[in-house]
Structure 1
Amino acid sequence: MKSSMVAKHARWPKENDIIFNLSERAQVAEKTIGKKNVINATIGALMDDEGQLISMKSVYDQLKSLQNNEIAAYASIAGQDDYKEAVKKVCFQGNDPKGYIRVVASPGGSGAIKLAMWNYTNFGDVILTSDWYWSPYGIIGEEAGRSVANFKLFNEEGKFNIESFKEKFKEIIDKQGSIFTIINSPGHNPTGYSLSDDEWDEMLNYAKEIAKDKSKKIIFFVDVAYIDFVKDDIASRKFFKKFGELPENILTIVGFSMSKGYTAYGMRMGAAIGISSNEDIADEFYYSLMHSCRANWSNCNRGAMEVLSHLAENKEKFKDYVEEKNKYKNMLESRAKSFVKGAKEVNLDILPYRDGFFISIPCENPKEVCEELTKENLYLVPLKMGLRFAVCAVSKEKCMKAPKIIKDVIENLSQ
């Protein structure tokens, strides 16, 4: 056995994150043969047509206008009061659910997931999410001694598979007495799927039936990291109202992030928003998560909090931000339409796309396909059941061209 000093619970395979590894390889290729000859669809961030990271002027002008002490000072453990109010304002945009709402700041959306999962699951618990999912859900759970079970995201008609959801939901809650379910919508990573209002109703109505047994505890974690890049800012938020006046043994936690909607990836700022019909449960949420903040990172990025607070309270500044964001939303929509059109023309099977940064392609042997695609200077991310193409990072022209390359490689490998 190799020598080891680390604790047993901290022994993990020696491996690099596959997404960052492929991204590095794509960058080497760009330097070697030129960016115009490479399609780098690995990056989960908004890039311009020349492959440069987009950073919104309205956001960074606000950051640079702050006084040094506004950036340098410690923040409150649960977040500054004006930041917490700003989070509710920009996240819900008038669609606040009825009930008791509490906000706790976190380092990005990942921090919100960590806080929620640690405080609302027990060691050894199984967490439920869809079979197409963002892999760090599993990593965060694994770190805390939790595991992930999956329901099938799509049925044969390409719609939300409510029957599979119900089956896995009941199986887990019957065994554990409680359940923590992660729903990533709208703009699901990695498929770009967004649940319809009817699909939300079906899911919540089923949960309410289960909740009639008061001994059951139901927690929904709703990851809305991509909500600001959904076509209609207001229509995409109407579903928030559905989390109001639910039975008190159903708690909803919304994972808010500044990373995508404010191009603030590296500032690491987000929040967990707790929604309950019971004030005691809402307060318990606040103080439990605040304790975890102190135990992990103490407090978050004060400068990023100030940026959101200033944007949210100033109508003119927020208007400038929305106008700038809409320009990039239109760009993203145009790219996604090009990819979908290109896929249709060559009969490439893709999963239903509605919004967001990514489109997924189901296939056998995704790692092998992904490696073969690098020989065509096309870099994307292999998943368990297929490939993830980041339309957020690829020009419209390349989005149109990529489906044929992918189709040809998949077909060649299947022969």
Structure 2
Amino acid sequence: MSQSMVAKHSMWPRQKDIIFNLSERAQRAEKSIGKDNVINATIGALMDDYGTLITMDTVYNEYKSLDNKDISAYASLEGQPDYLEAVKKVCFKEYMPDGYIKAVASPGGSGAIKLATWNYTEEGDQILTSDWFWSPYVSITEETGRKVSTYQLFDENNNFNFNSFKKEFLNIASKQERIFTILNTPAHNPTGYSVSDDEWDKIIGLSKEVATNQDKKIILFVDIAYIDFASDDNASRKFFKKFSNLPENILVIVGFSMSKGFTAYGMRMGAAICITASENVAEEFYYGCVHSCRANWSNCNRGAMKLLSNIVQDEEKFEKYTQEKTLYKEMLKRRAKVFVEEAEKVGLDILPYRDGFFVSIPCDNPREVCEELTKDNLYLVPLKAGLRFAVCAVNENKCKVSPSIIKNALQYIKNQKVVEKN
């Protein structure tokens, strides 16, 4: 037997991330036969019609104008004060909840998830999210000995499955002191679904019911990574007001990210924002998270913080940024509209899409279907129960032709399975 040195808790399967693996294959195909002949729907970033990463001029012109010291100096552990205020402003806009609100900087939305799950769950706890979810939720939580449990996101009518959510929520509440739930909305990754105001009322109502038991602690983590690419900047934020004046044993933590809204994926800048009716709970959040910051990454990207602060706090700059972002939002909406309409036309079953970067297609044997699609030079991401198509990375023409290609591949694999069975 060969020598092993790593600690047991760090023994993980020796496999490459499947998304990056397929993305690399797509890029090799583009170099071999040309970008026009390849549909690369694996990339979770906004690309222009020619497959080049979009970088907003209003963001990067501001970044290049920063003084070197604003980029190179150490930042405060909790994040620069002007950044934390700017984060609240750009996150909530006119829908700031009533209560005690504290923000702590994190490296991207991923860092916010790590801060929240580490500080608000115990080892061995189950963390609840939907059965369609961003796979790193598992990586982030399992490294610290937590487990992800799921409810069915959609019912038989493709509506939010509150009954399934309630069943799993109460099941965890019966076994644990803490009920920690991740809700990725609006513009959910990977389905593009957004929880409606009525659905939020049911979720909060259930939380309040459980909270009547003072021994229970309910944490709602709201992952808003894609909120800036929801259809309406203001309407998509109305639900924040619902977190006002909740019982003191309900804590809302919002995971903010600069990656999508500011096309700043590699800058790794975000924040965890708590909303609570208790001053003590807010102070606990702040000091617990700052301790974790010091222990994990010390401090965050000062240049990115300064960049966001400068744009958000200057009305003229923020208006220009908003106008530029709107152009790209409209581009994304057109692409998604074409894909959804064409899917309906060819009879391709997709999950309910509202906003965001991705559309999901439920299917059996997703890895086999993905492999079959590579023969048509179409690359997308296999999930546990289907396929993820990144409309953010594919131009309108390719979005239009893709549903029929996917439909044919699904039918081919289905026929193959019938043959094998017989």
The equivalent of 2:419 in structure 1 is: none
The equivalent of 1:236 in structure 2 is: 236
Map residues 79-118 of structure 1 onto 2, 5 A cutoff.
79-118=79-118
The equivalent of 2:407 in structure 1 is: 407
**How far apart in 1 are the matches of 2:325 and 2:39?**
24
Residues 1:18 and 2:18 aligned together: yes
Give the C-alpha shift of residue 2 in structure 1: 3.2
Residues 1:382 and 2:382 aligned together: yes
The equivalent of 2:43 in structure 1 is: 43
The equivalent of 2:259 in structure 1 is: 259
Give the C-alpha shift of residue 271 in structure 1: 0.1
Paired letter, 2:124: G
Aligned residues: 415
Please state whether the residue corresponding to 2:139 is helix, strand or coil: helix
**How far apart in 2 are the matches of 1:171 and 1:193?**
25
The equivalent of 1:284 in structure 2 is: 284
**How far apart in 2 are the matches of 1:277 and 1:243?**
9
Please state whether the residue corresponding to 2:338 is helix, strand or coil: helix
**How far apart in 1 are the matches of 2:259 and 2:136?**
16
The equivalent of 1:211 in structure 2 is: 211
Please state whether the residue corresponding to 1:289 is helix, strand or coil: helix
Map residues 322-341 of structure 1 onto 2, 5 A cutoff.
322-341=322-341
**How far apart in 2 are the matches of 1:178 and 1:81?**
31
The equivalent of 1:172 in structure 2 is: 172
Give the C-alpha shift of residue 120 in structure 1: 0.4
Please state whether the residue corresponding to 2:174 is helix, strand or coil: helix
The equivalent of 1:221 in structure 2 is: 221
The equivalent of 2:397 in structure 1 is: 397
Please state whether the residue corresponding to 2:195 is helix, strand or coil: coil
Residues 1:9 and 2:9 aligned together: yes
Paired letter, 1:395: N
Residues 1:159 and 2:159 aligned together: yes
**How far apart in 1 are the matches of 2:380 and 2:35?**
15
Paired letter, 1:232: D
**How far apart in 2 are the matches of 1:88 and 1:28?**
41
Residues 1:143 and 2:125 aligned together: no
Alignment deviations for residues 178-214 of structure 1 (CA, whole Å, 9 cap, x no partner):
1110000000000000011000001100110110011
The equivalent of 2:296 in structure 1 is: 296
Paired letter, 1:177: E
Alignment deviations for residues 72-107 of structure 1 (CA, whole Å, 9 cap, x no partner):
110000000000000000000010000000000000
User: Which structure 2 residue ranges, 5 or more long, are not aligned?
Assistant: 416-422
Give the C-alpha shift of residue 244 in structure 1: 1.0
Instruction: Give the 4+ runs in structure 1 shifted more than 6 A.
Output: none
TM-score (norm 2): 0.98
Alignment deviations for residues 124-168 of structure 1 (CA, whole Å, 9 cap, x no partner):
111000000000001111111111100000011111100000000
Please state whether the residue corresponding to 2:330 is helix, strand or coil: helix
Give the C-alpha shift of residue 50 in structure 1: 0.4
Paired letter, 1:134: W
Paired letter, 1:373: L
Paired letter, 1:391: V
Paired letter, 1:330: E
Residues 1:65 and 2:65 aligned together: yes
**How far apart in 2 are the matches of 1:413 and 1:22?**
19
**How far apart in 2 are the matches of 1:134 and 1:210?**
27
Please state whether the residue corresponding to 1:145 is helix, strand or coil: coil
Please state whether the residue corresponding to 1:32 is helix, strand or coil: helix
Please state whether the residue corresponding to 1:176 is helix, strand or coil: coil
User: Which structure 1 residue ranges, 5 or more long, are not aligned?
Assistant: none
Alignment deviations for residues 345-375 of structure 1 (CA, whole Å, 9 cap, x no partner):
1000000000000000000000000011011
Q: C-alpha root-mean-square deviation of aligned residues, in Å?
A: 0.5
Paired letter, 2:324: E
The equivalent of 1:354 in structure 2 is: 354
Residues 1:364 and 2:364 aligned together: yes
Please state whether the residue corresponding to 1:175 is helix, strand or coil: coil
**How far apart in 1 are the matches of 2:272 and 2:368?**
38
Alignment deviations for residues 246-304 of structure 1 (CA, whole Å, 9 cap, x no partner):
00000000000000000000000000000100000011000000000000000000000
**How far apart in 2 are the matches of 1:308 and 1:147?**
34
